[in-house]
A and B are shown apart, each in its own frame.
Chain A
Amino acid sequence: MNILESVLAATSDTAPGQPAASESSPETRLEPRTEPRTEPRTQPWTRQGAVYWFDCAGLTVREVAQAMNSLRARFITITAYQLPGTEGTRLEYHWDLAGRLLGFPFQLAANSIESIYDLCEAADWIEREVHEGFAVDFTGREYEPLLLREGDTPGVNLREEVKK
């Protein structure tokens, strides 16, 4: 099941694997599956509270952003978490699809991930903020300071600076 199918299945009232009837635009609706399903059905998402969390293994964030664009989902934000020790940073990307909150977690070992700013201009400020607050490098874009003032250094982990 690709990311589009997963999202449509998770956010429709129909069973997983069936096309979503209500929210998707006509061009992104999927045809009903006709061949018998042979592989064991596993859900690539879990629902926790109001959030549908998707398993992003094997996916890049740009693939997710492109899928969300084709569904006309609204980008909400990126939440960054500094993990203990040397585990790096986890980024959680959120989109809204017809009132349903979708979450896509990405764990960064090297504090670097592709920027989605060119695909999703709403991500501009939050990428700049996460860059300033957590020293995450969003590759493929240039930065201007957002919350920092002239003379401050972007790309420094602000949380660590505050602790000092």
Chain B
Amino acid sequence: MSYKIPMGPYHPALEEPYKLDMICEGETVKDAKLHIGFNFRGIEHLAETRNYIQVIALMERVCGICSNIHTLTLCQAMEELTGLTPPPRAQYIRVVMAELERLHSHVLWAGIASKLMGFKTMFMTCFSLREKVMDVLQAISGNRVNYSMNRIGGVNRDIEDPLALVGMVEQLEREMVRTIIPIFTTSTTARARCAGIGVLTHDKAISCGVVGPVARASGVAQDLRRAAPYAAYAEMDFEIPVEQAGDVRARLFVRALEIMQSCRILHQALTKMPGGEINTGEGKFAFKTATATSRVEAPRGEVMYSVSWKENSRNPSRVHVRTPTFVNMPAVRWMVQGARLADTPLIQASVDPCYSCTDR
């Protein structure tokens, strides 16, 4: 006999409000249905009422974790509409911010995953490391959540002494190599709780169109930083970690390895940062009547913005945001089928869902 277990929309195992209705037989989940929309704020419609300065501040608030990525994607689209090209130094600063944000997001996720595994000591370690990443972000931008770094034609703030940050990044890397990476890749607790659960097969990953670490953990080697480079990524040397198992442990591995690759990119971006201007200045620019599309590899996967503008208008006529969780989360239905009920909080968390992004 099957019965329904509702989880959410407000539940201790969920970081944000959404609802997962699970159809169970005994302790085994047979099927699941997701309900979202509890964070719907109508941001896309609001964007049409904001001018080209205000809309950047608005879109920064789509997500509290990858706020920088949203403004970067939006600004890239607006730069296409205005014909502005950010100077090389701005492109490097964008890479630094994007990779610090990826570190911050992955370490935050690692902490939450640790908590759900029942590994609370690790949770504390992850969050103390995350503080250090946020300290670096604050040292650069003056802010810890909404950094206000991106603008049309470049960035708002310079990294005056990039080499001074190299030491901070190296220290972060050392601590991650000493703590997070070995524990997540070798500890018995992590293996027991994560191996073989929440499997998303390669074929299902492709048919669901999943992106980011979720796709790469199922053997889909896609990463826009390599496939369609933006900012200064074409000049960076890095690898794309890919795992084949498709389970929670594979997602853990991919993110752990991505932390190392982010440190590698940060080191290159900070040491090779060219001199010069950080934006195109206060000169006049004009929007042309067109639609521009921009994509960026956020910590959770591909973010895509479609921005439409009409000439002589101060406001966009349409801003559409496709976030990674919007395509990753439907795959949870396939991940939880056949899983034990007790594993479902960890399985859904392994996607690193963000409902502020998804609902907008």
Contact = CB atoms under 8 A, between A and B. Distances in A.
A141 to B, nearest CB: 15
A149 B359 CA distance: 12
B257 interface: no
Contacts of B37: 145-149
A57 interface: no
A62 interface: no
A5 B45 CA distance: 38
Interface stretch (B202-210, B233-241, B245-253): B202-210
Nearest to B40: A147
B302 to A, nearest CB: 7
Given A92-B306, A101-B293, A145-B37, A158 B45 contact: yes
A121 B208 contact: yes
Interface of B is mostly: mixed
Interface string B318-360: 1010100011001000000000000000000000000000010
Nearest to B228: A99
A72 interface: yes
Given A50-B295, A148-B37, A76 B302 contact: yes
B304 A49 contact: no
Contacts of B42: 158, 162
A48 B359 CA distance: 29
A124 interface: yes
A95 B302 CA distance: 12
Contacts of B226: 99
Contacts of A75: 209
Interface of B: 36-37, 40, 42, 44-45, 80, 206-209, 222, 224, 226-228, 290-295, 302, 304, 306, 308, 318, 320, 322, 326-327, 330, 359
21 contacts: A49-B80, A49-B294, A50-B293, A74-B209, A76-B209, A76-B322, A77-B320, A79-B306, A96-B222, A99-B222, A99-B224, A100-B228, A101-B228, A121-B330, A122-B207, A122-B208, A122-B327, A125-B327, A126-B322, A133-B44, A147-B36
